[in-house]
Amino acid sequence: MADPRAEAGTPPAAEVVMAKVAPGNERTYENLRAVLDAKAAAFPGFVGVEVFSPPAGEDDWTAILNFESQADLQHWRASQERAELLRRVHSVAYDHDWVLPSGFRHWSSGDTSDTQAPVWKQAMTALAVLYAMVSVLNITLGNFIGSGLSVEGSKVVSGLGLPFPLVVFVGNAVGTILLTWVLMPIVTRLLNWWLNPAASRGQTIGGVVLLLAIYVVEVLFFVWVFRTFGF
């Protein structure tokens, strides 16, 4: 049966969480993440969650939670259950999150239709953009306004020394602006052939293979950058 809210044009919503887990706490974080996602699954409008563990030697985790509407997502985000579990998560990891703009039509100024890309395609696209964007912002902006930038153990930029919560806030603010008005409009236009709900089976499979290849290239590239320059 079709979702009446989807028929009425209510766009889906997603929360993207990126966490840096302290060494030795990976299993604890993974367990807490599972409990958190199980709690979210019990809330109205929950669609699904994807959790991406870091490659060997890295400590950045990504989770994308999808809900049927912004109202459903905000209900979860304002809940006491989420707040209590996040306090436990923050004992083993630093994390920051974004609420993605409502539906892909708001990322493309030229798209005025009510047709929405499938949520799973939105999630795959957002992950590719977010991973690269956050990695670059952490290397550049995060270091410049935080504790500084060192390459192979030598200090290159001393940094402004801002406290970590403020560094996260500034990074989120800049990231949200880039995501909403720069990166996603460009990427959704480039991938319109795949995001379109009328995409053929061949286009859908081709897009999935392309996104998976992009993930691999991104991860390999940033692993190389971090290991080569010793950030």
Domain residue ranges in the chain: 1-99, 121-231
Give me the CATH topology for the region 1-99: Alpha-Beta Plaits (3.30.70)
**What 8-state DSSP symbol labels residue 53?**
P
pLDDT in tens, 102-148: 545 455 444 444 456 777 888 889 889 988 998 898 888 988 998 88
Task: Identify the band that residue 179 occupies on the pLDDT scale cut at 50, 70 and 90.
Answer: confident
Residue 170 main-chain phi, psi, to 5 deg: -65, -45
pLDDT score, position 20: 84
Q: Which pLDDT score is estimated for 83?
A: 94
Q: By the 8 A CB rule, do 116 and 6 touch?
A: yes
pLDDT number for residue 102 = 54
Residue percentage of the chain with pLDDT more than 70: 86
pLDDT tens, 36-95?
999 999 999 999 998 888 766 677 788 889 898 889 999 999 999 999 999 999 989 888
**Strand ranges for 146-211 from DSSP E:** 149-151, 154-157
What integer pLDDT is reported at residue 109 of this predicted model?
Answer: 41
* CB within 8 Å of 188: residues ≥ 6 apart: 104, 107, 108, 111, 117, 125, 195
Residues 6+ apart with CB under 8 A from 218: 128, 131, 132, 135
Radius of gyration of the chain (CA): 18
Give pLDDT, residue 56.
66
What does the mean pLDDT of the chain come to? 83
DSSP 92-149: TEEEEEEE--SSGGGG-TT--------HHHHHHHHHHHHHHHHHHHIIIIIHHHTT-E
Cβ partners under 8 Å of residue 129, min gap 6:
179, 183, 184, 187
Q: Going by DSSP bridges, is the β-strand pair 93-99/149-151 parallel, antiparallel, or unpaired?
A: unpaired
